[in-house]
Structure formats: C-alpha cells, structure tokens
Amino acid sequence: MGSKTEVRIGEVWDATKIGSPSEPGSGAVHLWQRRLDAPGAEVSACYELLSIEEQERARRFRVERPRNEFVLTRGTLRSLLAQYLGSTPQDIRFRYAGHGKPALEGESGLSFNVSHTNGLALMAFVKQRAIGVDVENVGREVEAERLAERFFSEHERQALRPLGGDELQAAFFRCWTRKEAYIKAKGEGLSLPLHQFDVSIVEGDRDALLATRPDADEAARWTICDIPIGSGFAAAVAVATREGSQ
Ligand SMILES: CC(C)(COP(=O)(O)OP(=O)(O)OC[C@H]1O[C@@H](n2cnc3c(N)ncnc32)[C@H](O)[C@@H]1OP(=O)(O)O)[C@@H](O)C(=O)NCCC(=O)NCCS
C-alpha cells in the first residue's frame, strides 16, 4: 500500500511553449493543453516524431481533421515526455494495458493521460499514481436528458432533473467529463459500468467522486475535480489519492 499524499492540481500550461519542465513533485499534477487547429507544417513536424505504428495509425484515418488531431496530440505528448525524461520524442516507448490505456515503458514512475476533442488536446502528468483526464467541446448542442438516461447513475439523473437550458448543458458536461476522467484513470473503458459510481454535478466541487459500488471504499481512493480550460470546453481530472497505483 503506498502513502497517501495531497493531490495538487496546477494551472494549465500551453504545450506549444514547453520550455524545460521538471517532473512533477509528489502529489503535483501537471496539466498542458494545445489547440489542434495548427498549420500543416506543425502537423508534419509532429508526424516525424511518431513511431512507425503511430504513423501507420495516422494514415488509416480517412478524414483529415481527426488524423491531424491525433498526430498533433501524440507528437506533443512525445515532446512533453521527452522533456520530462531528458530523452528525445522518437525514443519514448509506450505499452498498452488491456483496454488500450497507454503508459510509459520502463521504471520512470511518470504517469500520464491524454484527451482530445474537436480543437483541443489536454495532457496530464503525475508521479507514481494513476491519472485520467477528459476534455469535451461544449459548443455542440447535446440531448442532455437522453444521454443522461443512458449513461448516468440514478443519483446523477436526479440531480440534473430540476435543471434546464444552459444550466443543464453545463451540469451535463461537468458530469460527463468527471465520469469519463474516472474511467480513464482506472483504464477500464466502458467495461466499468457507468451507473456503479456517482459524481457531483456541482460547479467547483474539488472532490467530485461521491460514491462507488459495490466497493464503497473505492471513492476515497480517488479525487476528481474540474480543470479550468477556458471557454467552449469542459474538462476534469481524476487522480489516485495514494501513490503506488499507476
Ligand atoms: C479511450 C476511452 C476510454 C475514451 O475515449 P474518448 O472519450 O473518445 O477519447 P479521449 O480523447 O478522452 O481519450 C483518448 C485517449 O485516451 C487514451 N486512452 C486510450 N484508451 C484508454 C483507456 N482504456 N483508459 C484511459 N485512457 C485511454 C489514449 O491516449 C487516447 O488517445 P489516442 O486516441 O490519441 O490514442 C474510450 O475507450 C471510452 O471508453 N469511451 C467512453 C465514451 C463514453 O461513452 N463515455 C460516457 C461518459 S459518461
């Protein structure tokens, strides 16, 4: 069992101006974002940083925009990891867990997770513990009630029910990003039933995981909070409260 240390979520840095960051200290979460509407030259530069497998994956995209977004996100992730580890982007090696969550090969102890949505990528880094992030473009109209019925827990649906209009849309995306960050931290994808845990929909909640089932103690093992990402987007991060789980 690892030690329990405070989790500190910092500001979001611009990943197009990386500099020479030091690895996060114990309990510190580093957050980076980048716009994904970059010129072709930047896409090409990022493409050159990818592994052969990633380049093949990029070529399999039929539509240019998601292809460019994948290339920019993965290339930027490689650049950031290289800066943290004193390596080069091309030398970064990933391994993939059962449901596809990427992690670093080797013993560096640096964990990361990535999310991208139309126009924006978000990357989070922490030492010695599991982490998940999600960013969503909130500009699009969503059928919040129908999606909530399908994906959210009874507690969450009840909390959303009195809301309407913009308030409902904002609370819906808070709920969605918090839930998604949690399943990404655990790495289990949708094999983790979404009704088996409740998140808060309250704005600014710094500890938004309310309940987990069937293991109620699981809720204390994670902290979930929003990321201040700027207008047009909603984002959340979930981090293990103890070191040792990655
Ligand atoms: C990968 C997954 C966990 C998230 O996918 P997504 O929301 O479309 O995509 P995001 O941009 O947030 O995350 C994708 C990134 O997460 C990482 N990732 C991939 N599999 C992952 C996993 N099992 N766990 C954590 N991270 C994962 C990768 O870096 C990936 O980037 P890439 O596609 O460029 O390789 C997907 O498998 C999933 O389960 N989606 C659930 C969607 C849903 O219906 N959610 C309901 C929310 S309440």
61 lines ligand 1 (CB under 6 A): no
* pLDDT classification of 189: cutoffs 50, 70, 90: confident
70 lines ligand 1 (CB under 6 A): yes
* pLDDT classification of 242: cutoffs 50, 70, 90: confident
Q: Which residues contact 243 (CB under 8 A, 6 or more apart)?
A: 2, 3, 5, 26, 127, 128, 129
- Tell me how far apart the alpha carbons of residues 12 and 232 are, in angstroms, rounded to a whole number: 15
The confidence score (pLDDT) of residue 239 equals 96
Instruction: Give the tens place of pLDDT for each residue, 142-184.
Output: 899 999 999 999 999 999 999 999 999 999 999 999 999 999 9
The structure tokens listed for 102 are 């990427």
Hey, is 127 helix, strand or coil?
strand
Instruction: Give the tens place of pLDDT for each residue, 111-134.
Output: 999 999 989 999 999 999 999 999
Write the CATH number of the domain with boundaries 8-128: 3.90.470.20
**Peptide bond preceding 39: is omega within 30 degrees of 0, i.e. cis?**
no
Instruction: Give the tens place of pLDDT for each residue, 44-69.
Output: 999 999 999 999 999 999 999 999 99
Distance 115 CA to ligand 1 centre (A): 7
Q: Which residues contact 75 (CB under 8 A, 6 or more apart)?
A: 45, 46, 47, 48, 49, 50, 89
The structure tokens listed for 57 are 């994956």
Half-sphere exposure of 77 (CA within 13 A, CB side): 27
Domain ranges of the chain: 8-128, 135-240
More confident residue, 21 or 151: 151
Q: Mean pLDDT over residues 27-34, rounded?
A: 95
Residue 1 has pLDDT above 50, yes or no: no
The structure tokens listed for 143 are 């059928």
Q: Does domain 135-240 have CATH number 3.90.470.20?
A: yes
The structure tokens listed for 12 are 């979001």
Q: Which of 47, 78, 115, 116 to mutate to test the pocket of ligand 1 (most atoms within 8 A of CB)?
A: 115
The confidence score (pLDDT) of residue 81 equals 97
* pLDDT classification of 20: cutoffs 50, 70, 90: confident
DSSP string, 200-220: ---TT-SS-EEEESS-GGGGG
Beta bridge partners of 103: 95
Instruction: Give the tens place of pLDDT for each residue, 128-143.
Output: 999 999 999 998 888 9
Instruction: Give the tens place of pLDDT for each residue, 205-233.
Output: 889 999 999 999 999 999 999 999 988 99
* 3 state SS for 129-162: CCEEEEEEECCCCCCHHHHHHHHCCHHHHHHHCC
172 lines ligand 1 (CB under 6 A): no
* pLDDT classification of 5: cutoffs 50, 70, 90: low
The number of the ligand 1 atom at minimal distance from the alpha carbon of 185 is 25
190 lines ligand 1 (CB under 6 A): yes
Q: Which residues contact 97 (CB under 8 A, 6 or more apart)?
A: 103, 187
- Tell me how far apart the alpha carbons of residues 123 and 184 are, in angstroms, rounded to a whole number: 12
The number of the ligand 1 atom at minimal distance from the alpha carbon of 179 is 48
